[in-house]
Amino acid sequence: MIYAASGLPYRGDPDNRMHHEESITGTPVIGNYFIQNAYRDAATPNMVTVILGDYRSIDTFGEQIVIFTAGLITLLILRRTKRRED
Amino acid sequence: MVDFFLGHYAYWFTIILMCVGLYGILFKKNLIKKTIGLAIFQASVVLYFVSIASKWGDVAVTVKDYNIPVEDVSNYLNPLPHTLMLTAIVVGVATLGVAFTLLIAIYNRYETLDEQELIDKMK
Amino acid sequence: MKRQFKSPIVLLGSRLLTPYIMVFGWYVIIHGHYSPGGGFQGGALLAASILLIRVAGGKQIAKLQIQEFATTPLAIIGVLIYFLTGLVAMIAGGYFLDYGQLPIPGMDPAYLRYTGILIIEVGIGLAVMAILVMIYDNLVRGEDYG
Amino acid sequence: MIESHIPALIALTFVVFALLIPAFGVWRTEYSQPLSVIGSGLAAVFSLVGFLNYLNEGSLRYFFGGWEPPIGIEFVYDGMSAFFVLVINTVAFLVLIHSRQISKMEFPGKEMPYYSLAMLMLLGFNGMILTGDLFNLYVFLEISSLSSYALISIGDRQAPFAAFRYLIIGTVGGTLYLLGVGFLYTVTGTLNIIDMSAMLQLSEIFDNSAVFAALILMIVGIGVKAALFPMHGWLPDAYTYASSTSTALIAPIGTKVAAYILFRIIFWLFSIDITDAIAPVSYIVGILACIGILYGSIMAIAQSEMKRMLAYSSISQIGYIIMGLSLANPLGFAGALLHVLNHAVMKACLFLVSGNLRMKEGHSDISRFDDSYRKKYPWTMASFSVAAISMVGLPPLAGFFSKWYLALGTIDNENWLFLAVILISSLLNAVYFFRILEKVYMMNPKKDQKEAAEAKKNEAPASMLIPTSVLAIALIVIGFANAAIVGFLFNIFPV
């Protein structure tokens, strides 16, 4: 735990380079790209939903599968046999 | 120096939450308390992600409304960490669900949730 | 949870509240575009409304609402909706989950993505609702045998 | 058209079958096992097609949702991921065939959720290998670890507790990994591996202590999954108490995928010179791996129960792979990757053998092995001896070559400590494998011959035998064909 505390990096304060200018190698910093083009790309005001649904839709699909696994796990562990007991 | 502290206060809280979570996991005997410690531990990472998305000055929320121009980037929060945290929270909930299922299975077999007793019973 | 609550007030109260929670849940799912919210939050709300009845009403009444075994197919349908939109987009030429290529006629790409995200949100909402109810059923039933 | 979709198709076949099995399970649960075999078989075919396609067309980048990285997420299908995906899907396919008989004995009423979760676990593993995005890797990591907690919890009486301990340690590891990703995102602003490694090369970024902290956090986080030495506490209990099918599924594949991610972090995300510049990371990891090798081998000797012995031996084998990675030279790299292939096949074969024994004998306790096994299970014991010899590393079989290249790598790097560790642990391996062989084959005649002679041959059913012997034969084939394999491994080293 002391390691985690000492591991606190001095990386500038919240408004550091990530938000403002382009990233170093010139690729558009994706945080800003989303703000500028979210509405243009998907005509949806809520940027977070656009990222969730469109730009990074595999993440959301993975999320849905995570919940599906959790549901199946409860079925697996706590259900004795499907047919006979009810 | 003040700027240094002012810029980093959010990260101290993440570390404090992490310490609480780890304490819960390591030193608590009852298994349910361990799971709660785990949940706190995950919450600390969520706090960290959300804190890096903020910007100085008056910042509108991540939903675009028509009077604030979208082109000027510093008007809006950075939406990406918030999206990532939706996923991390969902994953945390799923893990908690599975943890409690396992706890019920353990309880049904051993009638106790205290780790020390469990280890003795298993010997 | 299993036996019915003694006092009818609790039962009546919950039966009064549930439809409103459901409507609000669907509102959250559908309006994920304008107001904060979306598939996961809306699904959780829907599940909450169903669980309210199950907690208050006990097993007999809960059976009328959603059967025990109906939750698994419902969850599969939810995940399938998401998966098929991706597949259709893939077959129609783009990459997996690329709504720009969805074969719905007469829409400019941006609006097409709008509808794509909408379908995704509905799929997630359905799946989350069914799975949370499934988890609740199993946890409750789990006490008598591990 | 199909070739360009291969990376997505491999992952999606698992999704399709993970949904099909519960759909069919509603009224006929006995369909689950064949469906899972078809699913993993299809994925194995796709990965084979993809691998051959990769050989002549080179690597492939698949952008999901049509967005170029770093905006969208991408699957990178290059040399290493093609190789890993092929290894994992073929081993899983064989183990699932084997599990038909055992499932009736170990989890009677629950085939449907079990096999659907096995599909989801394989989806998680394949996704972790293929993805080129750090956060997406965390999502797949969680899918695979959730389903492996569940698969472990089906088994003996102590299984849920072992699974619960694995859950706690695994989730702590996953969350540490996520924090590492958070640090990197704060510094570089992107999540894509290739994009980020380009940024990290620039000097003024990586001297930032955040990058150092992120590197350590990610190695610790993934080290938990790979059962690297200090974080391996969960592995022995989890593997021994789980049912033999789930151990045979998780043991050969789970730790390898985590080792693959460790490799990707150290070599591609941070590239070797950065890791050495910040801190002698690869050296520390190498030291940890060596302790793991020795610890695993010594503990394996002390075990009386075969599955627990195999669990400790897989801790030491993982030590080999990670040590090979930490050598950071082409030889060590090729040795490590070859060892991944060998160890996956060997460990799957050994766990299938213990499954057969549990099926027929009801136990897999070494102390109660006796001469009659030679008669009763000629095939199972034959494949066991092939795998054991290859694990120890005798020339004709595959195990020897991977240790050979690892040894060359250590000589090339002049750290004699690692070389000494390899030799000592090979001897230790010999000890704990040969005592079983000695018990089964060279039993001294003092036991009355009548009892051993009349033990008629009631071999395990065919569907359990074929995968075991196929794996054993595969070991021999790899042994002879390794010149080609190593040749391939050399040219994908991203030096």
Q: Which two tokens stand for residue B66?
A: 């028509």
- Could you report how far apart the first and last alpha carbons of chain A are, in Å? 49
Out of C36, C40, C139, whose CB is closest to B104?
C139
d(CA D405, CA D411) in angstroms, rounded, equals 10
d(CA B36, CA B30) in angstroms, rounded, equals 10
Could you report the per-residue pLDDT of D212-259, keeping only the tens digit for each? 777 888 888 888 888 777 777 777 778 888 887 888 888 888 888 888
Number of H helices, E strands in chain A: 4, 0
Residue D452 has pLDDT above 70, yes or no: no
Q: How confident is the model at residue A2 (pLDDT cuts 50, 70, 90)?
A: very low
The Cβ of residue B3 has, within 10 Å, a number of other Cβ atoms equal to: 9
| C-alpha R_g of chain A | 22
Contact B64 A5 (CB under 8 A): no
C16-36 burial by CB neighbour count: b if 16+ within 10 A, else e? eebeebbeebeebbbbbbeee
The Cβ of residue C94 has, within 10 Å, a number of other Cβ atoms equal to: 19
d(CA C73, CA C133) in angstroms, rounded, equals 12
Q: What is the mean pLDDT of residues D106-122?
A: 79
DSSP conformational letter for D233: T
Residues of chain C contacting B88 with CB distance shorter than 8 Å: none
Report the CATH number that the domain containing residue B73 is assigned in CATH.
1.10.287.3510
Question: Among C120, C129, C132, which would you mutate to test the A interface (most chain A Cβ atoms within 10 Å of its Cβ)?
Answer: C120
Does A83 map to a domain?
no
Q: Is D131 within 8 Å of D101 (Cβ atoms)?
A: no
Is the backbone of residue C94 left (phi > 0), alpha (psi -120 to 50) or beta? Answer: beta
Q: What is the mean pLDDT of residues D397-423?
A: 77
Q: How confident is the model at residue A6 (pLDDT cuts 50, 70, 90)?
A: very low
Domain that holds residue A41: 15-78
Q: How confident is the model at residue B5 (pLDDT cuts 50, 70, 90)?
A: low
Contact A75 C138 (CB under 8 A): yes
Residues of chain A contacting D114 with CB distance shorter than 8 Å: 76
Residues of chain B contacting D146 with CB distance shorter than 8 Å: 94-95, 98
Number of domains chain B is built from: 1
Percent of chain B past pLDDT 90, that is, above it, reads 1
Please give the backbone phi and psi of residue D146, each rounded to the nearest 5 degrees, phi first. -60, -45
For residue A21, what pLDDT is reported? 34
DSSP conformational letter for D267: I
Q: Is C146 within 8 Å of B105 (Cβ atoms)?
A: yes
Distance from chain centroid for Cα A11: 22
Number of domains chain A is built from: 1
B19-30 burial by CB neighbour count: b if 16+ within 10 A, else e? bebbebbeeeee
Split chain C (146 residues) into runs of 10 and give each run's mean pLDDT.
Answer: 64 82 85 76 86 74 64 80 80 69 66 79 86 83 55
DSSP conformational letter for A85: T
Q: Which two tokens stand for residue D258?
A: 């985590």
Give the helix ranges, DSSP H, for chain C.
8-30, 39-65, 71-91, 109-142
- Could you report how far apart the first and last alpha carbons of chain B are, in Å? 57
Could you report the per-residue pLDDT of D137-196, keeping only the tens digit for each? 899 999 999 998 888 888 777 888 888 888 988 898 899 899 888 888 877 777 777 777
Domain that holds residue B47: 2-122
- Could you report how far apart the first and last alpha carbons of chain D are, in Å? 32
Residues of chain A contacting D111 with CB distance shorter than 8 Å: none
Contact A69 D120 (CB under 8 A): yes
Out of D120, D135, D195, whose CB is closest to A65?
D120
Q: What is the mean pLDDT of residues B92-111?
A: 86
Q: How confident is the model at residue B8 (pLDDT cuts 50, 70, 90)?
A: low
Does A72 map to a domain?
yes
Contact B7 A13 (CB under 8 A): yes
Give the helix ranges, DSSP H, for D303-329.
306-327
The Cβ of residue D423 has, within 10 Å, a number of other Cβ atoms equal to: 11
For residue B64, what pLDDT is reported? 62
d(CA C15, CA D453) in angstroms, rounded, equals 74
Q: How confident is the model at residue A13 (pLDDT cuts 50, 70, 90)?
A: very low
d(CA C39, CA A53) in angstroms, rounded, equals 10
- Burial (0-12, 13-18, 19+ Cβ within 10 Å), D255: buried
Question: Parallel, antiparallel, or unpaired: how do β-strands D74-77 and D60-63 relate?
Answer: antiparallel
Out of D16, D26, D65, whose CB is closest to C73?
D26
Give the sign of the dihedral formed by CA D438, CA D440, CA D442, CA D446: positive
Looking at the complex, does the CB of residue A66 fall below 8 Å from at least one CB of chain C? no
Out of D149, D205, D208, whose CB is closest to A9?
D208
Out of C120, C127, C142, whose CB is closest to A78?
C142
Residue D448 has pLDDT above 50, yes or no: no
Does A6 map to a domain?
no
- Burial (0-12, 13-18, 19+ Cβ within 10 Å), B120: exposed
- The ipTM, to two decimals, is 0.87
Question: Among A51, A56, A68, which would you mutate to test the C interface (most chain C Cβ atoms within 10 Å of its Cβ)?
Answer: A68
Chain C residue whose CA is closest to B82: C36
Residue D202 has pLDDT above 70, yes or no: no
DSSP conformational letter for D74: E
Distance from chain centroid for Cα D200: 30
From C111's Cα to the closest Cα of chain D, the distance in A is 15
For residue B15, what pLDDT is reported? 80
Q: Which D residues in the span 20-59 are in contact with C, Cβ-Cβ below 8 Å?
A: 22-23, 25-26
Out of C76, C90, C101, whose CB is closest to D19?
C76
Q: How confident is the model at residue A18 (pLDDT cuts 50, 70, 90)?
A: very low
Name the more confident of B86 and D203: B86
Q: How many residues comprise chain D?
A: 495
Residues of chain C contacting A48 with CB distance shorter than 8 Å: 36, 38
Closest CA to A9 of D186, D275, B21, D265: D186
Percent of chain A past pLDDT 90, that is, above it, reads 1
Q: Which two tokens stand for residue B87?
A: 């996923």
Long-range (24+ apart) CB contacts under 8 A made by B36-40 are B38/B95, B38/B96, B38/B99, B38/D168, B38/D171, B38/D172, B39/B92, B39/B96
Could you report the per-residue pLDDT of B53-81, keeping only the tens digit for each? 766 655 666 666 655 655 666 666 777 78
**Where do the domains of chain D lie?**
303-495
Question: Among D28, D121, D139, D202, which would you mutate to test the A interface (most chain A Cβ atoms within 10 Å of its Cβ)?
Answer: D139
**Where do the domains of chain C lie?**
8-142
Q: What's chain D's average pLDDT?
A: 76
For residue A23, what pLDDT is reported? 36
For residue D38, what pLDDT is reported? 78
Does A24 map to a domain?
yes
* Helix (H/G/I), strand (E/B), else coil: D123: helix
Question: Among C28, C79, C113, which would you mutate to test the A interface (most chain A Cβ atoms within 10 Å of its Cβ)?
Answer: C113
Name the more confident of B7 and D405: D405
